[in-house]
Amino acid sequence: MPPASSPSTAAARFTGRQVTGERPLSASLTEVDLDDGRTVMVKRGEGTGAARAEAAGLRWLAAAGTVRIPAVHGDDERWLVTDRVALGRAGAGAADRFGRDLAALHATGAPAFGAAPPGGPEDAYIGLAPMRNAAGDDWPRWYAEHRVLPYLRRAVDAGTLRAAEATDVERVCERLPGLAGPPEPPARLHGDLWSGNVLWGADGQVHLIDPAAHGGHRETDLAMLRLFGCPHLDRILAAYDEAAPLAEGWADRGGVHQLFPLLVHAVLFGRGYAEQALAAARSALRRAP
């Protein structure tokens, strides 16, 4: 069956309901009203396989039965249709629960670092940037090879980072075995856990959207939350640490884990993020053993 031709036809196909209205929210996201009174979200994938990768990630995260995830109604090569999250206010109780639920999500694990969600493609996305899910069993080596260095090379090729500056990030990659902290098993990551993907629902619970899900180090999700901020962040992290204690020094390792999203943003949005990535790399090197 060919991909649907519009948000409304995608919603009708995957829900089996008639459409009564639609409201574009952005170039890629549309709210669609159905004849049974529900409203669904229809997202257009911005790259080949992007919609399928996101759908697989949502299903994998939902299968853990921990953090709330919008139900997936269907997807094809172009469109993804999910439930809409009714929004409410960010509350302390919801933050505490989210911290505990996020710890439980991570603990459900993954087959390997870089493992794609079941049914998800190896060639996936984080936001608008391609992201390859290639499996590995050693986090420092895998993180350098498949998360940091590909985006560093793209930033240098685009002129966003100078080759001489890139050596600081390369030195961090060389020293990752000593910077990574104690070994941990692969966690089931959301993968793009910035505050815009953390929705505070009207039901008093946190819902997560727009994942770049894969097997990774649990501190990476926490570092992303800290990088871009989040309401009640201190409560979230405290509840997480109480439910699943973090290894000593985890907060000091945040810059190492932030290199990945900062370099992705440098590739997508330019020099300002490249400078933040360099600052994170140099800070990590000052603490290197």
CA 157/CA 177 separation, integer angstroms: 27
Identify the bridge partners of residue 130 per DSSP, sorted by sequence position.
125
The CA distance from 199 to 57, in Å, is 17
Distance separating alpha carbons of residues 71 and 225, to the nearest angstrom: 23
Catalytic residue among 76, 192, 210, 221: 192
Q: Residue 192 catalytic?
A: yes
SS3 category, 48: coil
Helix (H, G, I), strand (E, B) or coil at 80: strand
| Distances in whole angstroms, Cα of residue 276 to Cα of each of 77, 196, 209, 260 | 35, 20, 25, 11
127: left (phi over 0), alpha (psi -120 to 50) or beta: left
Task: Give me the active site residues, please.
Answer: 192
